[in-house]
């Protein structure tokens, strides 16, 4: 079903020397049953070597028709959207949200294909979970379970300015994995698609192209920051849920950066702990990487050089504009 090749080049060699894992490029060979314009050509996705032996199992996973999939390129607001969707699907159950970790309420579908492990716990956990499930994934259309397209599950896709996502990803990598490269090396790697889940541009464009299908909701991190209340109303409608004005306001409060950071079951430190365990790092509540880092729009301006900003803006414009996607090639 896939053409898989090891990626070997100086950027990846350098990445591996700095503690990054080996990378593959993976491209589907079969027809994906999704209604996307014929002119769209799938491009290879960059994944860790660990993914190689599991790709078929992920693609063949049997979904449930009432699953809700939260799909994003990494660091684009996945956790925020998982929490929002889980709450909307669970009658705003604040008690459960504050007692059960988000990593258990909303499972990261392909995690066991991203790290060195022999476990298949996540498939069991997913199969045991009650419906409707809210499932997290960063996979592009070409790697997601084919069954999603046959059963037309609801998908909430979230995009974010690549420049902010890159900076967030850099801190994620240096804070949670053995990677110790410079920020310049990291950005160069990601811009040349030598980084897991790349290409960002293909990822966003694919979902942009199917955004008008009734089972797809295309959101942006920036709109969530600007007016979360409206996003909650739009998302409730998409999920066919009704809430009062008062309930929506209490959910806006629950989903604020400060509130989610404060609650250990919402701040995704569970994922941080799991990744620390993979790297054999000792986890410390106070000094270890904080997943809820800044949660800002445009924070990249403090950490990214103007030459990288210009290069990213130029490429984003070149790739997005022809598809009418007029985002992310200027200031955020
Ligand atoms: S991951 O690891 O790919 O699942 O990360 P993801 O959840 O997609 O993105 C993490 C970034 O989202 C920010 N975040 C928030 N921002 C504003 N409000 C709320 N409630 C919120 N929750 C998470 C988080 O801080 C990460 O962004 P950065 O820029 O690193 O702060």
Residues 97-114 have pLDDT tens digits of 999 999 999 999 999 999
* Closest C-alpha to ligand 1, atom 2: 75
Q: How far, in Å, CA of 220 to CA of 214, rounded? A: 18
Q: Is 94 in the pocket of ligand 1 (CB under 6 A)?
A: no
What pLDDT was estimated at residue 81? 98
What pLDDT was estimated at residue 19? 83
Q: Name the least confident of 25-34, 86-95, 181-190, 278-287.
A: 278-287
Calculate how far, in angstroms, residue 3's C-alpha sits from the geometric centre of ligand 1. 32
What pLDDT was estimated at residue 285? 87
Q: Is 260 in the pocket of ligand 1 (CB under 6 A)?
A: yes
Alpha helix stretches (DSSP H) within 131-196: 146-151, 162-176, 183-191
Q: Is 77 in the pocket of ligand 1 (CB under 6 A)?
A: yes
What pLDDT was estimated at residue 332? 76
User: Is there a catalytic annotation at residue 138?
Assistant: yes
Residues 116-173 have pLDDT tens digits of 898 889 999 999 999 999 999 999 999 999 999 999 999 999 999 999 999 999 999 8
What pLDDT was estimated at residue 72? 98
Of 263, 260, 143, 151, the residue nearest 203 (C-alpha): 143
Q: What is the mean pLDDT of residues 79-86?
A: 98
Calculate how far, in angstroms, residue 30's C-alpha sits from the geometric centre of ligand 1. 34
Calculate how far, in angstroms, residue 8's C-alpha sits from the geometric centre of ligand 1. 31
What pLDDT was estimated at residue 162? 98
Q: Is 113 in the pocket of ligand 1 (CB under 6 A)?
A: no
* Closest C-alpha to ligand 1, atom 16: 295
What does each C-alpha distance from 107 to 12, 102, 251, 271 come to in angstroms?
Answer: 29, 8, 21, 10
Per annotation, catalytic residue among 122, 138, 171, 172:
138
Calculate how far, in angstroms, residue 77's C-alpha sits from the geometric centre of ligand 1. 5
What pLDDT was estimated at residue 21? 84
Q: Is 261 in the pocket of ligand 1 (CB under 6 A)?
A: no
Contacts of 255 (CB under 8 A, 6+ apart): 80, 83, 84, 87, 228
* Closest C-alpha to ligand 1, atom 17: 295
Please give the model's pTM, rounded to 2 decimal places: 0.97
Q: Which atom of ligand 1 is nearest to the CA of 164?
A: 29
Of 84, 8, 101, the residue nearest 46 (C-alpha): 8
Q: Is 252 in the pocket of ligand 1 (CB under 6 A)?
A: no
Q: How would residue 280 be classed by pLDDT, with cut points 50, 70 and 90?
A: confident
Calculate how far, in angstroms, residue 322's C-alpha sits from the geometric centre of ligand 1. 29
What pLDDT was estimated at residue 278? 86
């Amino acid at each position: 079903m896939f053409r898989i090749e090891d990626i070997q080049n100086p950027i990846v060699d350098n990445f591996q020397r700095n503690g990054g894992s080996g990378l593959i490029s993976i491209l589907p060979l079969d027809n994906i049953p999704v209604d996307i314009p014929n002119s769209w050509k799938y491009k290879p996705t960059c994944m860790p070597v660990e993914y190689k032996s599991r790709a078929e199992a992920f693609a063949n996973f049997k979904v449930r028709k009432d699953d809700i999939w939260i799909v994003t390129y990494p660091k684009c607001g996945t956790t925020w959207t998982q929490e929002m969707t889980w709450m909307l699907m669970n009658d705003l159950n604040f008690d459960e949200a504050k007692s059960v970790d988000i990593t258990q309420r909303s499972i990261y579908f392909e995690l066991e294909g991203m790290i060195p492990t022999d476990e298949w716990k996540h498939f069991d956990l997913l199969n045991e979970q009650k419906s409707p499930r809210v499932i997290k994934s960063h996979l592009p259309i070409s790697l997601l379970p084919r069954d999603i397209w046959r059963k037309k599950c609801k998908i909430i896709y979230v995009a974010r300015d690549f420049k902010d996502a890159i900076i967030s990803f850099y801190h994620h990598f240096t804070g949670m994995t053995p990677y110790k490269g410079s920020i310049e090396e990291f950005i160069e790697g990601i811009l040349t698609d030598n980084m897991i889940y790349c290409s960002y541009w293909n990822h966003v464009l694919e979902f942009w192209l199917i955004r008008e299908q009734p089972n797809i909701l295309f959101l942006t991190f920036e709109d969530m920051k600007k007016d979360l209340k409206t996003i909650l109303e739009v998302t409730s409608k998409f999920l066919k849920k009704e809430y009062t004005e008062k309930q929506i306001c209490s959910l806006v409060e629950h989903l604020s950066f400060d509130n989610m950071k404060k609650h250990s079951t919402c701040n995704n430190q569970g994922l941080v702990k799991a990744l620390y365990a993979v790297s054999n790092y000792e986890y410390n509540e106070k000094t270890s990487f904080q997943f809820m880092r800044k949660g800002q729009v445009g924070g990249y301006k403090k950490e990214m050089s103007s030459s990288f900003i210009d290069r990213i803006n130029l490429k984003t414009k070149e790739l997005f504009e022809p598809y009418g996607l007029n985002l992310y090639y200027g200031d955020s």
